[in-house]
A and B are shown apart, each in its own frame.
Chain A
């Protein structure tokens, strides 16, 4: 019993643990204060939450570790522990999903480690003015970013050549039977929902279309353009809010364009428009484009298979 108490006392008094705990409490409090004082659209996560807060977390740990003689390898290792705790807290308190956290983790890891090394360099200089300036600048960026409007829309376009006439392809574009091919995109393989089938209430303008995903999620769609053998456009009218990436991206509209190549083949073009609710877009758009592209190809390869059968 005494040993346990002593160990606990040692752990709590260790600068390593104090640094990690303080950094995580700081991050948690900042996010709580930010969401209560600066309400933004639900689901929007700003650049500062993935860049500035992790960097400040790293700097905080460096302040606790500055006089401990800690080596670079230990700083890296302890920073990884710090990241894992921050990611676990996001899972439990922010309700983020596993895949979402997997996607965000490179940002968190790199900025927390960078923050720890920047902090080490800062505190070695023992220049209070410099330290205060850097921390104030980061907090300033955080406040401005939190108060700014965030909106990002993007379109992803892909095409595929099908050895069948537009009339044949059209039959499988409006609605199609369940996809039986195995997943080949790594995110689908580890559990991200992938498109499985599409049903339609009627083959005409204004009809309701449903895109069914592998986990049972259904995207409700409405056909807004029905140009037989040429063009199908549908607006997404309702989509599931999932803790995984789907909570952070809104698919707005989808389109299929069928181009008759005049030689018995058809070029099928798939377009999707989406709004991204997570920032920075230079990072998350890479993922969103990759996921959208793989959704396109899973559907379009299936249409190709059915049309060429």
Chain B
């Protein structure tokens, strides 16, 4: 569903609020159909807030954005799709582990996507967030 909307109606994402509203509907749907996913997203938020000088905001294309000193290093959509900013080198080496994929829209960038499917995925997501945080901090 998410991929279908992104593919077919992705051009609407630049209209202010449209993506945020869509994400809110997804969040509502998840609360009804898979409430534990919202717990996992909360765990990611809590993990990031423990990292020094991070803030949490709303991502312009819907979801929760994770920043270090105001610079975005990851965001998670309310269907559990975590997008993380790495570089191409890191991306290639992590992709060998077979858990992450190219970013669901920007395939040839340093961004990667990781989908939270179960509770075990949360620790790997935190691991990825830590890598992205460290990378952003060092820049």
Contact = CB atoms under 8 A, between A and B. Distances in A.
Interface of A: 71-73, 76-77, 80, 106, 109-111, 113-114, 117-118, 121, 124
A120 to B, nearest CB: 8
Given A72-B42, A72-B45, A114 B24 contact: yes
3 nearest A-B pairs in the assembled complex, by CB-CB distance: A73-B38, A113-B24, A114-B24
Contact of A111 (B21, B56, B57, B58): B21
Nearest to B23: A114
Given A73-B38, A117-B20, A118-B20, 16 more contacts: A71-B39, A72-B38, A72-B41, A73-B39, A73-B41, A76-B27, A106-B25, A109-B24, A110-B24, A113-B24, A113-B25, A113-B27, A114-B17, A117-B24, A121-B57, A124-B56
Interface in B48-64: 55-58, 64
Interface residues of B, number: 21
B31 interface: yes
Contacts of B58: 117-118, 121
A72 to B, nearest CB: 5
B28 interface: yes
A124 B22 CA distance: 23
Q: Is the interface of A mostly helix, strand, loop or mixed?
A: helix
Contacts of A106: 25
A77 B25 contact: no
Given A114-B24, A117-B24, A124 B31 contact: no
Contact of A114 (B21, B42, B64): B21
Interface string B43-87: 001000000000111100000100000000000000000000000
B10 interface: no
Choose among B22, B23, B28, B58 the residue with the greatest number of A CB atoms under 10 Å from its CB.
Answer: B28
A106 B20 CA distance: 14
A260 B35 CA distance: 57
Contacts of A121: 56-58
B24 A73 contact: no
A114 B21 CA distance: 6
Contacts of A77: 31
Contacts of A118: 20, 58
Contacts of A124: 55-57
Contacts of B17: 114
B95 to A, nearest CB: 29
Nearest to A109: B28
7 contacts: A72-B45, A73-B39, A76-B38, A114-B21, A114-B24, A118-B20, A121-B57
